[in-house]
Structure 1
Amino acid sequence: MPDNPLAPTEEETTPAESSPVSPSSLPDSAEELSGAQKSAILLIALGIETASEILQHLNDREVEEISVEIARMRNAPSDLVEDVLLEYRDVARAQSYVAQGGVEYAREVLQEAMGPDRAEELMMRVEAAMEVSAFHLLQTVETDQLTNFLRREHPQTAALILAHLNSRKSAEIISKLGEEEQEEVMYRLATIGNTSPEMISDIEDVIRNQLGSVIGAETSVAGGVDKVAEILNTTPRSAEKSILDALRDRSEELAASIKNRMFVFEDLTEIREEDLQALLMEVDQNELALALKAASDELKHTIKRNLSERVVEGLEEEIELLGRVPVSEVEEAQHSILQTAQEMEKQEKIVLSRSAEESMVG
């Protein structure tokens, strides 16, 4: 999906206050609206289901800014809504022309269709939207296509690209690579540091040539052991083990550093009881039963100790009814619960650190 041309600009984005937002008065003209306000109007007009799908493709800052505007917004005048929708249609149409034949082709078509002034105004918006990083656009490329592309590239290039993808997509790609490829790419990802603009530019050229992405500039990359640990947390257990073993052969210290940053299902025994209870409230009982099929007795005991007797009875019955299940299904359930836990930690609802008690101060 193309990046939202109505998303807030850097100048328009400041951290949202945590206090309740107050209603905002809207200007009479769409030209006076901020990018975040236009996006809010667009998402409201599209409805909850479509809006939710679109928000999944935006970064946290964009989601926060647009959500604040949605919360502030009351009834927008129908003519203002219509102007925003027409603007989005025009910009989206211009972007499609760029995809078909490039910037100059799009400019010529638009000049023919709506005159030079309006065409130039639209092209300025489109060219601004095109300044989005290639790595952000890669999130929309099919996993198989991206995997095949990375197989043909140098491991360092593959590592840099994986560092920019979300962990779930990176894990899917890693699981499709051969063992030697996994080892090489993950080692380079773990040892990556800040990357020069020149190298990033070279990689953007590779992506542009191979995948046809329209991209802009980027200056650094968030790689390192934290990124590898995050990816391995969502990688199938067999692949996780083989990658860690291979990295250990190269560097005991590096592998240990990655392992220490990983949080696996059995580590739920190490977190505070109040955090475990908060997590269990968010987990589906059927999924929990499946995840516990291959759990240690210690973890089963810890979880049951933090559930009511009635829930424990239902859980034990559910586990018994499951019978024999594939290991892959059990691992998938465990990964799903861990992802819920990690999302709750990002929202500062729980703490997952194995040394959480030690890091607390009174």
Structure 2
Amino acid sequence: MIYCDYAATTPMLDEAMDIYSEINRSYFGNASSLHDFGTKANDYLRHARELIAHCFRAKSENIIFTNGGTEGNILAINTLLRSIPTKDKPHVISTMMEHSSIYYHLLSLEKENQIDVTFLEGNKEGHITIEQVIHAIKPSTKLVTIQYVNGETGVKQPIEEISALLSKKNILFHSDFVQSFGKIHTDVTQLPIDAITVSSHKIYGPKSVGAIYFRNPHVLVHHPIETNHEFGLRPGTVDVAAICAFAVSAKRIHEIAVYEHLYQVRAYFINQLKQKEIPLLPLCSKNSCPSIVGCISNEIQGDYLLLEYNRFNIAISTGSACALGQQEIPRAVLPLLDNEEDGKRYIRFSFSHLTTFEEIDTIIMVSAKIFQRLEEARLAYG
């Protein structure tokens, strides 16, 4: 089986699996308890927080643990909005390409009359320009949330420029780093980003755990449910074992030259598509994360191609796993298309440091077989 759906989820590292089992077996105490079991669990929790903070080159107090990217995005947005010192209804700027957890949460808040929201549309390369952000800002704008790397297309947004602009205007900025964390090393302490969301299972850790980096945690208003967990910002007993496994995987993946390998794999894959004349058109640009290559086929539906690759034991995707079962064309893909109909023929290959050039060769060989067979069927049946 060749796995090319790493943007959806990743296998756990052996080191992460080992620490997960060890803590669940021997250090299972509640980290908030005062007895020795709790104290030992809290020691592990504190060390894990330091490891995650080190990945951000930040302090441990800047890190809040969550149950993943979706909750992290919602919690970060709610916390920042709650911490804005104003009684007026805030205006929020986001994009049409955001993860569904952000897009639909903002729509829900607007429907409840808690915020006004403006969704920016991407240009033909899926990018948001700094001019768009400037034009959208109103006197009531208090928060902007724009992801760094899109999980369906790999497109990177200019967060350096955006964060610098918003900092000058005293507008809070949140960014979803779920797809970039562990792939693109960014020193966030050099960027005025107020909150960043990351997820464990995208970087070879367990599912249902993630984190938020808050730049200024001391100015945040606590969660309305009174709690002593996670500095008062998130209620609920933390899963120490999962958090430690997350920290181990984050430390390990930040030690590997992931980006360079991904860049080479993507370049080789695209070059082979062209050389072998495979009727798949890559939609990625130079300013995109190399782990994701979205393609449009000549005339074959994306879901049909997914099943064809699966018959040859190759796992790909037609978009975000969070949107499976929805017949809509992914919002992030639409700006890249000449017409909406093309979106039905979209498929996504997503790679990792585990992807080999031999696997790429197999994918190209299988692709040639699939399209040759489909062409023969088309000619036979007219």
Q: Same fold (TM over 0.5)?
A: no
Which structure carries more helix by proportion? 1
Q: TM-score, normalised by structure 2?
A: 0.28
Higher radius of gyration, 1 or 2: 1
The answer to which structure, 1 or 2, has the higher relative contact order (CA under 8 A, 6+ apart) is 2
Which structure carries more strand by proportion? 2
Q: TM-score, normalised by structure 1?
A: 0.29
